[in-house]
C-alpha cells in the first residue's frame, strides 16, 4: 500500500482500513524486534506512509501500541476463558485434588500467556510508557477495556475454583503482571539471552517463563483456596 493510496481514502471504512494497516505494521515490527525497538518512523516506513500523515490516525507511537495492547487483552481473554471453561469444576474438592486442579489452572493461565509473546511484551511496556504519552481519553478507553477483560477471566475462574471474585481478580492481575515482567527478564531472542546461555557464571539469570509462572500462580491459588475454606 502506497502513501497515495492512503491519501485517497475518504470513507469511514477506508479510514479504519488505514488504522488496521498501521496496527498490523507495528505488530509485525514489534514481534520481530521487541516493542522498545520500534520507532514511529519505522512503522510509517513499514506501512508506506509519511510519519506526519500516519500521526493523523494515532496520537503517538505509544497510542499505536496501546491500541494493540487493548486488542491483545480481548483476544487473550476470549481464548483463556474458553480453555478454563473446559476444566472440570472442583469448587468442593479435597485438598489433594484441589492442589492438582490449582496446578492445572495455573498451567492454563501461564501457557496461554507465553503463547502470546507480543502480548507479554506489551504487558510490561503498558504501565512503563504506553500510558504516559497519550491523552487521558485514550488511557481511559484502554483501562476500561482491560479491566472488563480481567473481570471476565476472573468470573470464569470462580466457576472452576473455590476462589472469591476478589481473589480470582488478584490471580489474573498477578498472572498478567508477572508474565510481562518475567518476559522482559527472559529476554528471548536477544543478545542478552545469548550471553546468559553461553556463560556458565550467568546461568542463574536464565528465566524460563512458563514454569516460573506456573509455580507462582499455583501457590497463590492454593493459598487463596485454603483461606476461603
- High-pLDDT (> 70) share of the chain, %: 89
* Delimiting residues of CATH 1.10.357.10 domain(s) in the chain: 61-228
- pLDDT tens digit string along 93-116? 556 677 888 999 999 999 999 999
Q: Looking at residue 1, what is its pLDDT?
A: 46
Mean pLDDT score of the chain: 88
In the predicted structure, residue 4 carries a pLDDT above the cut 50: no
For 1-58, CATH number out of 1.10.3470, 1.20.120, 1.10.10, 1.10.1060 equals 1.10.10
Q: Looking at residue 125, what is its pLDDT?
A: 95
Asked if residue 212 lies in contact with residue 153, where contact means CB atoms within 8 angstroms, the answer is: no
* Delimiting residues of CATH 1.10.10 domain(s) in the chain: 1-58
- pLDDT tens digit string along 48-59? 998 888 989 999
Centroid of chain to Cα 1: 29
Q: Hey, what's the cell of 134? A: 497519550
CA trace torsion 194, 211, 113, 138 (10° rounding) = -80
Mean pLDDT value across residues 33-56 = 92
Of the two residues 100 and 180, the one the predictor is more confident about is 180
Q: Hey, what's the cell of 203? A: 546461568
- pTM equals 0.86
In the predicted structure, residue 5 carries a pLDDT above the cut 90: no
- pLDDT tens digit string along 187-225? 766 777 677 777 777 777 777 899 999 999 999 999 988
Asked if residue 60 lies in contact with residue 132, where contact means CB atoms within 8 angstroms, the answer is: no
Query: For domain 61-228, which architecture applies?
Result: Orthogonal Bundle (1.10)
Amino acid at each position: 500500500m502506497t502513501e497515495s493510496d492512503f491519501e485517497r481514502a475518504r470513507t469511514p471504512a477506508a479510514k479504519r482500513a488505514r488504522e488496521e494497516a498501521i496496527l498490523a505494521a507495528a505488530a509485525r515490527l514489534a514481534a520481530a524486534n521487541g516493542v522498545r525497538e520500534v520507532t514511529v518512523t519505522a512503522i510509517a516506513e513499514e506501512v508506506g506512509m509519511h510519519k506526519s500523515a500516519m500521526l493523523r490516525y494515532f496520537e503517538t507511537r505509544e497510542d499505536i501500541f496501546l491500541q494493540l495492547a487493548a486488542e491483545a487483552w480481548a483476544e487473550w481473554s476470549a481464548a483463556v476463558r474458553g480453555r478454563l471453561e473446559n476444566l472440570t469444576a472442583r469448587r468442593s474438592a479435597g485438598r489433594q485434588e484441589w492442589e492438582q486442579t490449582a496446578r492445572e489452572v495455573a498451567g492454563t493461565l501461564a501457557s496461554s500467556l507465553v503463547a502470546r509473546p507480543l502480548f507479554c511484551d506489551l504487558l510490561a511496556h503498558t504501565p512503563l510508557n504506553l500510558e504516559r504519552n497519550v491523552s487521558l481519553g485514550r488511557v481511559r478507553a484502554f483501562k476500561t477495556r482491560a479491566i472488563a477483560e480481567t473481570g471476565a477471566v476472573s468470573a470464569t475462574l470462580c466457576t472452576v475454583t473455590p476462589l472469591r471474585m476478589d481473589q480470582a481478580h488478584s490471580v489474573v492481575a498477578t498472572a498478567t503482571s508477572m508474565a510481562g515482567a518475567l518476559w522482559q527478564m527472559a529476554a528471548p531472542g536477544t543478545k542478552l539471552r545469548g550471553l546468559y546461555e553461553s556463560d556458565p557464571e550467568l546461568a542463574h539469570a536464565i528465566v524460563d517463563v512458563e514454569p516460573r509462572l506456573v509455580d507462582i500462580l499455583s501457590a497463590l491459588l492454593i493459598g487463596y483456596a485454603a483461606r476461603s475454606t
